[in-house]
Amino acid sequence: MDPLQMACTGPRKKRARQMDTSMGSTQDIKFQDLVLFILEKKMGTTRRAFLMELARRKGFRVENELSDSVTHIVAENNSGSDVLEWLQVQKIKASSQLELLDVSWLIECMGAGKLVEITGKHQLVSIMVRGDCPASHDSSPQKTESAAVQKISQYACQRRTTLNNHNHIFTDAFEILAENCEFRENEGSYVTYMRAASVLKSLPFSIISMKDTEGIPCLADKVKCVIEEIIEDGESSEVKAVLNDERYKSFKLFTSVFGVGLKTAEKWFRLGFRTLSGIMNDKTLKLTHMQKAGFLYYEDLVSCVTRAEAEAVGVLVKEAVWAFLPDAIVTMTGGFRRGKKVGHDVDFLITSPEATEEQEQQLLHKVITFWEKEGLLLYCDLYESTFEKLKMPSRKVDALDHFQKCFLILKLHRECVDDGTSSQLQGKTWKAIRVDLVVCPYECRAFALLGWTGSPQFERDLRRYATHERKMMLDNHALYDKTKRKFLSADSEEDIFAHLGLDYIEPWERNA
Ligand code: DCT
Ligand code: MG
């Protein structure tokens, strides 16, 4: 067996006993700047001895005892809180220089024969202070302090949330509970569950016991009860009940149709409908154009858009836009910009440094006429701009913006999709795809890009943070500083984060 493989699966006891754990000191040290200490807690003496010996052979300096010279503590099956607690018992204060790492980092380093970059998945995050933390005004803790003393912010815009979710079992549950509250128009509980799901998505470790939840913000009592039940029973009875609830099931089904919102779903439910075929076969119901398109292309639209399909739509959009405005900047936004592999639609932001107001206003009309002639336009709903310069940003966290935009359904031909394997196209030569196009004035582009990149929860928390922590107002058009009584301009998203005193969060870290 390869030694590294053994490191992953655990050593055979007999061999481990023969090892001399002190011999490493005489071996060549390849990584001079690092001093490791491997924690025995939950790892056991044998495995620890084996890993120490292996790490030394691979060029690491590994201490037998925890001393001041140690720079990295490596642990297995421990959360950050577990390690900190152990340090406290040893009467050792965790300094901000001390890295608390999962053994996976050491194993990766040994496998690669070099130091592997430490990322969130390796860091054992712990929370020194319990409860919601007020935003720190001298930039966020993520970059300036080690994970050992890092607090988790109550704001998603102060957390880095990649798509690597270690707590799916909990976040899936909270998203279902939140959706049920949305269907029942219970705004308060909706926010509670969404914030809980969001904070859990940002954790670089899986919650395995209630102790791991200590100090994590945004976990209300009712949220903790659900977590506890899932830890104990593997599922939540409340979620189970929701999934079996007739109202929830009907609303979920009805709102899966493009053009159907809560009001329509409520009406259909009250009228006694429970299936989509029941609605389609009813001659008395009046459907909007949007809903008719929603039913017509239902199968295509409920199947997710793949990245290859999104890229193919991007080619179509650029081709059409550039035919009329060659200098236009076309950016794919929404979930795909955040690195998602699938989405429910494809969002684009369009802006031009040179276009006149009239050229800007005409662009979407020309693009739509062009696609209509090509036979690619299956549905179109265009909203003209109601944008006014120097208007105060909206106070509402979920307010829609005032830019000109269109909600479309486009026909995407199979041969346009690069991978050619688009499963949804089987037997058909094309697939209906939902596409959103937004046009914004050039000076608003950074705000519009930030707003249209999402996630929705990240956006809500950005605005909430601006209002409550900075006395500023942020929306998709502008940022206003109420203290200085002036608008703050921005050429890039980085500028906006800087105005807000926030560390920059990359798009793929905004999956809150
Ligand atoms: N948006 C927002 N607030 C909302 C809805 C949307 O700030 N209430 C922003 C953030 C994302 C962007 O608009 C695009 O919206 P969607 O397409 O609905 O979201 P998405 O993240 O792209 O998700 P999906 O992958 O399902 O399309
Ligand atoms: Mg989208």
Is it the case that residue 138 has pLDDT exceeding 80? no
Counting every residue written for the chain, the total comes to: 512
How many whole angstroms from its chain centre is CA 341? Answer: 12
Range 246-296 has CATH code 3.40.50.2000: no
Q: Which residues surround ligand 2, an ion (CB under 5 A)?
A: 334-335, 343, 345, 347
Asked if pLDDT for residue 26 goes beyond 70, the answer is no
Ligand 1 centroid to Cα of residue 277, in Å, is 29
Residue 418 has pLDDT above 70, yes or no: yes
Task: Characterize the bridge pairing of strands 329-332 and 346-351.
Answer: antiparallel
Fold observed for domain 456-509: Beta Polymerase; domain 3 (3.30.210)
For residue 229, the model assigns a pLDDT of: 98
CATH 3.30.460.10 range(s) for the chain read 302-443
The CATH T-level fold of domain 153-243 is: DNA polymerase; domain 1 (1.10.150)
Residue 98 tokens read as: 């001390």
CA 62, CA 191: separation in Å to the nearest integer?
47
User: 347 CB less than 6 Å from ligand 1?
Assistant: yes
| Residue 58 pLDDT exceeds 70 | yes
The response to whether residue 507 sits with its C-beta less than 6 Å from ligand 1 reads no
Question: What number is the average pLDDT over the span 288-313?
Answer: 97
CATH of domain 31-146: 3.40.50.10190
**14: pLDDT strictly greater than 80:** no
- Report how far ligand 2's centroid is from the alpha carbon of 453 (Å): 8
Tell how far the Cα of 436 is from the centroid of ligand 1, in angstroms.
10
pLDDT digits (tens, 9 = 90+) for 81-131: 888 888 888 877 777 678 899 998 998 899 888 998 887 778 886 543 323
Residue 316: closest CA among 437, 454, 438 = 437
Predicted pLDDT of residue 150: 66
Instruction: Name the residues annotated as catalytic.
Output: 345, 347, 436
- Separation between Cα atoms, residue 314 and residue 308, nearest integer Å: 10
Note the pLDDT of residue 92: 78
pLDDT value at residue 118:
87
Q: How confident is the model at residue 4 (pLDDT cuts 50, 70, 90)?
A: low
Task: Give tens-digit pLDDT for 348-392.
Answer: 999 999 999 999 999 999 999 999 999 999 999 999 999 988 789
**What pLDDT does residue 258 have?**
98
Q: Give the pLDDT band of residue 141 (cuts 50, 70, 90).
A: very low
The per-residue pLDDT for 181 is: 98
Q: What DSSP assignment string belongs to 194-230?
A: HHHHHHHHT-SS---SGGGGTT-TT--HHHHHHHHHH
In the chain, CATH 1.10.150.20 sits at: 246-296
Q: Which atom of ligand 1 is nearest to the CA of 476?
A: 7
Over residues 410-430, the mean pLDDT reads: 78
Lowest mean pLDDT among 59-73, 173-187, 323-337: 59-73
Average pLDDT, the chain: 89
Query: Measured from the CB, is residue 434 less than 6 Å from ligand 1?
Result: no
Ligand nearest to the CA of 340: 1
Q: Hey, is 380 helix, strand or coil?
A: strand
Does the beta carbon of 461 lie inside 6 Å of ligand 1?
no
Residue 123: per-residue pLDDT: 84
* CA terminus-to-terminus distance, the chain: 41
Q: How far is the CA of 452 from the centre of ligand 1 (A)?
A: 7
CB-count exposure of residue 31 (10 Å: 0-12, 13-18, 19+): middle
Q: Looking at the CA of residue 343, tell me the nearest atom of ligand 1.
A: 25
pLDDT of residue 140: 34
CATH dotted code for 302-443: 3.30.460.10
Beta carbons within 10 angstroms of residue 322's beta carbon: 12
The residue whose CB lies within 8 Å of the most ligand 1 atoms, and thus the one to mutate among 313, 459, 508, is: 459
* 164-198 residue pLDDT tens: 999 999 999 999 999 999 999 999 999 999 999 99
Nearest CA to ligand 1 atom 14: 334
Q: Could you tell me what percent of the chain has a pLDDT over 70?
A: 88
What was the pLDDT predicted at 256? 98
- pTM given for the model: 0.74
